[in-house]
């Protein structure tokens, strides 16, 4: 629950300071919230192990799908 509060306060604080809320901040907040909710539901036995594995596999695919295969790894 602390992660949910922290991510909400972080976005609120950046907005209050008129700082730009970049997409990376929103992605960080949403991904931590997603992982927290999945693990919480698994801990409370509301979802099965196969569902947890599927959701975590989709999350890993999302995270690693953002990494470009060519552009960032080339040396200029």
Q: What is the pLDDT of residues 3-62, one digit of tens each?
A: 677 777 877 787 788 877 777 777 778 888 888 889 999 999 999 999 999 999 998 888
Q: What is the pLDDT of residue 71?
A: 56
Conformation bin of residue 45: beta by default, left when phi > 0, alpha when psi is -120 to 50: left
CA 53, CA 9: separation in Å to the nearest integer? 30
CA 73, CA 7: separation in Å to the nearest integer? 30
**Domain boundaries along the sequence of the chain:** 2-65
pLDDT of residue 73 exceeding 70: no
DSSP annotation of 69 = S
pTM to 2 decimals? Answer: 0.66
Number of helices (H), then strands (E), in the chain: 3, 0
């Amino acid at each position: 629950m602390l992660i949910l509060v922290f991510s909400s306060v972080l976005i609120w604080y950046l907005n209050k300071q008129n700082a730009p809320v970049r997409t990376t901040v929103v992605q960080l907040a949403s991904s931590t919230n997603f992982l927290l909710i999945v693990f919480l539901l698994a801990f409370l036995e509301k979802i099965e192990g196969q569902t947890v594995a599927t959701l975590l596999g989709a999350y890993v695919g999302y995270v690693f799908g953002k990494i470009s295969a060519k552009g960032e790894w080339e040396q200029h």
